[in-house]
Structure 1
Amino acid sequence: MQYRAFEPDIEIYGAAMLATVGGFGPLRAIVERTLLRHGLIDTGRPDTSDAWYPQQSWLDALLEVDKRFGTQILFNIGAEIPNNAVFPASAVDVHTAVQSIDLAYHLNHRRAGRVMYDAATQTMLEGIGHYGYDRLGPSHILSTCETPYPCEFDFGIVATMVRRFEPRAIATHMGSECRRQGAQACTYSLRWDV
């Protein structure tokens, strides 16, 4: 289900969240006020990118943006994530890039003060869902996303990440199952060289 954190004590890294503000384009000032209303901008500090914020507050802000401006802006916000969030250096081609989304997702979230992916031990904590990777062939990937984030937001992340390495890639939402209609996950088909 989208817009509901899976666990109450999950936080998102400020740099990952605030970097998406560029996805709002001319609505940036309005969106910044939305973030302020949800406690996601610290007006007392000039740089809040190293701070951590409640994931539910970020989800509430995204829901407000969805209601006010529609789903295309959510896609644009998600598309900003691969350009600004912390990603593992292992993303060197389209397949490793899509695989790295789940690692990056966990690197940019923490539970009870602990980052949810430790690269040194390759330990991943559960509690926020996953961005899946299923290689169907050399030029076809399915990514099933089971996160509390809205469908279009995740679609923006996945489509942008695959296009970073395969600019002509075609990304489509698969099937009728969608979190927007209450499903647990959304699946995206990523194809190139078709």
Structure 2
Amino acid sequence: MIRNVTYERIQCLGHNLGIVSSGLGSFWRLASRIMLEESMGTTGPDGLVQFESEAWYPLAGHLRMLERIRKDFGEVALRQVGASIPRFARAMPAGIDVRAAFQRLDVMYHLNHAVNGQPMFSEHTGQLQDGIGHYLARPFARHKQILCDCTGPYPCAFDEGLLLAFARSHEPSAMLTHLEPGMCRTRGAARCTYSVAWT
């Protein structure tokens, strides 16, 4: 996690928060209670949290929720949540290869976050607003490999699940390696670097 940043002005899309349920499976009821305790969403008729897909919710609350999920259920649960994101992700054109998809990843990330209800990437102007870090991909033209630097506030385990599932949605043989694990955001580093490789 990026240190000394509260993200109080930044929001995330309700559509993405609703995806968390698919990643947690049988833990969903317990996670729903955590979300409600963090004032994320509203209580539905079934007593579980619900979100308006086009509404914006505080990123700070989302990050607190993920940290509580990590403490209660472990990093495996965070990887499952991250892995569920690419299945339902918006703003990714169809029919592109894995290199092009990773080049688009940072734009997609910013489209799904906002400041005061305004997405942090404008598709009309092409302008991207800083403030939530980046997913910066470095593909190798002659090798089946991409390096991705992550400097955002989401937990490392969450990003590992997201990036591996994202890669496998384009290249089923993809594997992910956390490079320099001693240089990790969980240890106070500013970034994590992941290698995505496929056959």
TM-score (norm 1): 0.92
CA distance in 1, matches of 2:4, 2:168: 29
Q: 1:67 aligns with which of 68, 71, 85?
A: 71
Identity %: 35
Match of 2:119 in 1: 115
CA distance in 2, matches of 1:3, 1:64: 18
Q: 1:178 aligns with which of 166, 179, 184?
A: 184
Mapped pair 1:161 → 2:166? yes
How far did 1:3 drift?
Answer: 8.3
Match of 1:11 in 2: 11
How far did 1:166 drift?
Answer: 0.7
**Across the two proteins, how many residue pairs are aligned to each other?**
193
How far did 1:57 drift?
Answer: 0.2
Decide whether aligned partners of structure 1 residues 186 and 17 sit closer, same or farther in structure 2, where only a CA change above 3 A counts.
same
Q: Say what the alpha-carbon RMSD is for the aligned residues.
A: 1.9
CA distance in 2, matches of 1:5, 1:18: 25
Mapped pair 1:94 → 2:98? yes
CA distance in 1, matches of 2:155, 2:140: 25
Mapped pair 1:147 → 2:152? yes
Query: Any conservation in 2 of the 1:6–1:148 contact (CA below 8 Å)?
Result: no
How far did 1:85 drift?
Answer: 2.6
Query: Any conservation in 2 of the 1:88–1:103 contact (CA below 8 Å)?
Result: no
Say which SS state the counterpart of residue 172 (structure 1) adopts.
strand
Mapped pair 1:43 → 2:43? yes
Q: 2:85 aligns with which of 59, 81, 84?
A: 81
Query: Any conservation in 2 of the 1:6–1:127 contact (CA below 8 Å)?
Result: no
Query: Any conservation in 2 of the 1:11–1:52 contact (CA below 8 Å)?
Result: yes
Q: Deviations over 1:55-91 (max 9, x none)?
A: 0000000000001111011011011111113123266
Match of 1:105 in 2: 109
2:90 aligned partner, one-letter code:
V
CA distance in 2, matches of 1:6, 1:99: 27
Structure 1 gap ranges (5+): none
The farther-off stretch of 57-66 and 93-102 is 93-102
